[in-house]
A and B are shown apart, each in its own frame.
Chain A
Amino acid sequence: MAHDHDHHHHDHDHSELSETELRVRALETVLTEKGYVDPAALDAIVEAYQTKIGPRNGARVVAKAWTDPSFKQALLDDASKAIATLGHVSRVGDHLIAVENTPQRHNMVVCTLCSCYPWEMLGLPPVWYKASPYRSRAVKDPRGVLADFGIALPKDTEIRVWDSTAETRFLVLPMRPAGTEGWSEEQLAEIVTRDSMIGTGLPTAEPKAAS
């Protein structure tokens, strides 16, 4: 199999895709034959990220913080520790930091160097989070990036961008939207979108579009 990726492939997306597929299969066969991995264990990893680990975990944490002031304080003090007390949500590793949006300050999370992201809270990151436009612009022109998401913040709101350059991970605690008074934690979790926990979205008192 050829290992160069000549430009002619770019005109044939389908053939390039199948070449990549073959190459991935070949690598998996080699790793299996060498006794490094059991393919069934790889199946289990893929399945976990497709079915168990996703933004719902983070949404439940946010909903809890919106309804329980002492949990919210604990979350802001030490997010890893606070979430560990909610055994039913998700197990979470160390170094998670929750940052709170307020009327004065909006938080946004990026990884300019690669794709660091709170997997346990939000699942695997979306393509845009890992792609060049977001990684390049978030630290210089966050209002322009927010406009790409259809969001305009007041001109005097401070925007704080957290570049995840180490193993600390950040979860944005969005503001609870008006019109949700008296809602249960479960109802609130339904409106907490993935993007609102990255800082590129705002929750509204409407059912969320899947994202």
Chain B
Amino acid sequence: MNGVHDMGGMDGFGKVEPEPNEPVFHAAWEGRVMAMVRAMGAQGAFNIDASRFAREALPPEVYLSSSYYKKWLLALERHLAALGMAGQDEVAAGHALRDGAPLKRGKFEVDDVERIMVRGSFGRDAAAPAIFKPGDKVRAKNINPPTHTRLPRYVRGHTGIVERINGCHVFPDSAAHGRGENPQWLYTVVFESRELWGDDADPTLKVSIEAFEPYLEMI
């Protein structure tokens, strides 16, 4: 979706402000939210792509004005409600009002924690050989799906060079919407700054994205 989350190249957000000695969490509730999202995802309530889409789908003014973990909280509430796993009326009441729905991998217990400390693999067997190879000149397609995609707006329609093949991975555009893993080849595609930002761009800059095969067309 063409949401405000897709920020590459936007102006006006101001300076980057690093915080010296930044704590891991700025309040205890942030850690609880992070842990709930990880736990519910690990047990199969949703996959990482659907979870990202839930955050992107927050109203733009909420997305931009909420802290990072506040976004996670608001998206988690909405997502669980949409899945029928926890109603917003229950959160408002502060207690379960109905029985839980079945979770694919059951209750998240202490013994499950170790498993989620290492990322799962997103690599999958390929249905067909990769179409592109390093050195190929490709164009990022001009696509504008209202659904989840990982092709940022700032590269759409622009020409780049395939630099690496990173294997065949779960395709977020499908997985986010319950349409299966639909594995696709994944490439690093590099763009010259002037191709992206015009003649005034810093000529020493090159930008790469990780592009799934359906995002690209051969030139």
Q: Which residues of A contact B (CB under 8 A)?
A: 1, 3, 5, 10, 17, 20-31, 33-38, 40-46, 48-50, 53-54, 91-95, 97, 110, 112-115, 119-120, 123-124, 126-128, 130-143, 145, 148-149, 155-168, 195, 200, 209-211
CA of A21 to CA of B67 in the docked complex: distance in angstroms?
A: 13
Q: A-facing mask of B154-192, CB < 8 A → 1, else 0?
A: 100000000000110110100000000000001010100
For A165, list chain B residues within 8 Å (CB).
Answer: 150-152, 209-211
Shortest CB-to-CB span from B12 to chain A, Å, is 8
Shortest CB-to-CB span from A130 to chain B, Å, is 5
Does the CB pair A24–B73 fall under 8 Å? yes
Does the CB pair B166–A166 fall under 8 Å? yes
10 contacts between A and B (CB under 8 A): A1-B94, A26-B92, A37-B36, A37-B108, A113-B52, A113-B152, A114-B56, A127-B22, A166-B166, A210-B21
Query: Most chain-B CB neighbours within 10 Å: which of A35, A36, A149?
Result: A36
Does the CB pair B91–A136 fall under 8 Å? no
Known: A120-B118, A124-B34. A157 touches B204 (CB 8 A): yes
Does the CB pair A28–B73 fall under 8 Å? no
Does the CB pair A24–B204 fall under 8 Å? no
Known: A38-B109, A120-B119, A163-B209. A27 touches B20 (CB 8 A): no
List the 9 closest pairs (A to B, CB-CB), nearest first.
A93-B119, A34-B100, A112-B8, A166-B210, A33-B96, A46-B31, A42-B35, A45-B35, A132-B13
The one of B20, B70, B119 that contacts A209, using a Cβ cutoff of 8 Å? B20
Query: Most chain-B CB neighbours within 10 Å: which of A134, A148, A149, A167?
Result: A167
For B85, list chain A residues within 8 Å (CB).
Answer: 34, 36
Q: How large is the interface on B (under 10, 10 to 19, 20 to 34, 35 or more residues)?
A: 35 or more
Does the CB pair B205–A161 fall under 8 Å? yes
Q: A-facing mask of B53-92, CB < 8 A → 1, else 0?
A: 0011000001011001010010011000000011010111
The one of B5, B40, B117 that contacts A37, using a Cβ cutoff of 8 Å? B40
Beta-carbon nearest neighbor of B48 in chain A:
A167
Does the CB pair A45–B21 fall under 8 Å? no
Known: A29-B94, A133-B14, A136-B10. A36 touches B118 (CB 8 A): no
For B8, list chain A residues within 8 Å (CB).
Answer: 110, 112-113, 135-136, 138-140, 163
The one of B19, B40, B112 that contacts A31, using a Cβ cutoff of 8 Å? B40
For B13, list chain A residues within 8 Å (CB).
Answer: 131-133, 136-137
* Interface membership of B17, Cβ < 8 A: yes
Shortest CB-to-CB span from A126 to chain B, Å, is 5
* Interface membership of B131, Cβ < 8 A: no
The one of A48, A128, A137, A142 that contacts B113, using a Cβ cutoff of 8 Å? A48
CA of A30 to CA of B36 in the docked complex: distance in angstroms?
A: 11
Does the CB pair A27–B91 fall under 8 Å? yes
CA of A148 to CA of B145 in the docked complex: distance in angstroms?
A: 35
Q: A-facing mask of B124-153, CB < 8 A → 1, else 0?
A: 000000000000000000000000001110
Does the CB pair A166–B20 fall under 8 Å? no
The one of A48, A128, A166 that contacts B117, using a Cβ cutoff of 8 Å? A48
Shortest CB-to-CB span from A57 to chain B, Å, is 11
Does the CB pair B31–A30 fall under 8 Å? no
Beta-carbon nearest neighbor of B52 in chain A:
A114
Beta-carbon nearest neighbor of A146 in chain B:
B16
CA of A33 to CA of B99 in the docked complex: distance in angstroms?
A: 8
For B116, list chain A residues within 8 Å (CB).
Answer: 45
Known: A20-B70, A33-B96, A167-B169. A128 touches B17 (CB 8 A): yes
Shortest CB-to-CB span from A67 to chain B, Å, is 26
Does the CB pair B64–A132 fall under 8 Å? yes
CA of A158 to CA of B107 in the docked complex: distance in angstroms?
A: 50
